[in-house]
Amino acid sequence: MDVRDLFLDQHAVMHSAAVGGNKMSAAERTFGGLTDEQMRVRPREDLNSVAWLMWHIARAEDIIVNVVLAGRPQVFDDAWMKRLGITRRDFGIGMTSPEVTELTRQIDLGALREYRDGVGRRTREVIGGFKPQDWEGPATAEAFGRAAAEGAFGARTEMLMKAFPGRPRTAVLSGIALFHSSGHMGEAATVRTAGGFGSGV
């Protein structure tokens, strides 16, 4: 198994069966079987909703894989802001609790599920086409600057522009598309437990 196959195998665990073909994926266990009402629950002020978490990890993957690593437009650019019913172009880092509540309330959940699947499919297309040189070298300040110019980093633009450029491309890819998603799915399991609607396992 080469690095591309290994990434795609692990990536399938982070997405729905419709994207990666894994019916027992972490994403199916985390986001499956929930009503719209449950998706919008914030059991405590210090916890995000499952809807917000799904949106956040989808936006982060879309921005980093497409704009930063592949130098191509986001999936989000295809009229998704209107379909989702939101007004934000960033991925939510630094949002206040009232802002989390507002996005949770207004986002179209059917469109959100479709958007996240679209992001996952695009990632698999992009990485499936990677040549050996695409795995090498650092993620550049220029690449992150493109994302920043699109409003991708919101209130934390300055911080992220200092923190990420220069990191290996492979670390940025796995960090966002695998580890970031996995961490927030763990958070979603906490939300489900605190909200009284189970772990999803």
The number of distinct structural domains making up the chain is: 1
Angle among Cα 160, 121, 42 to the nearest 5 degrees reads 60
pLDDT digits (tens, 9 = 90+) for 54-67: 999 999 999 999 99
**Has residue 77 been placed in a domain?**
yes
Overall average pLDDT of the 108-135 stretch: 96
Question: How many residues can be counted in the chain?
Answer: 201
Overall average pLDDT of the 51-79 stretch: 96
Q: Which amino acid is at 154?
A: G
In the prediction, which pLDDT does 78 show? 74
Domain that holds residue 112: 3-195
**Has residue 134 been placed in a domain?**
yes
Q: Reply yes or no on whether the pLDDT at 201 is more than 50.
A: no
**Has residue 137 been placed in a domain?**
yes
**Has residue 200 been placed in a domain?**
no
**Has residue 72 been placed in a domain?**
yes
Which CATH number belongs to the domain containing residue 164 in this structure?
A: 1.20.120.450
**Has residue 158 been placed in a domain?**
yes
Mean pLDDT for all residues in the chain = 94
**What Rg value do the Cα atoms of the chain yield, rounded?**
16
**Has residue 201 been placed in a domain?**
no
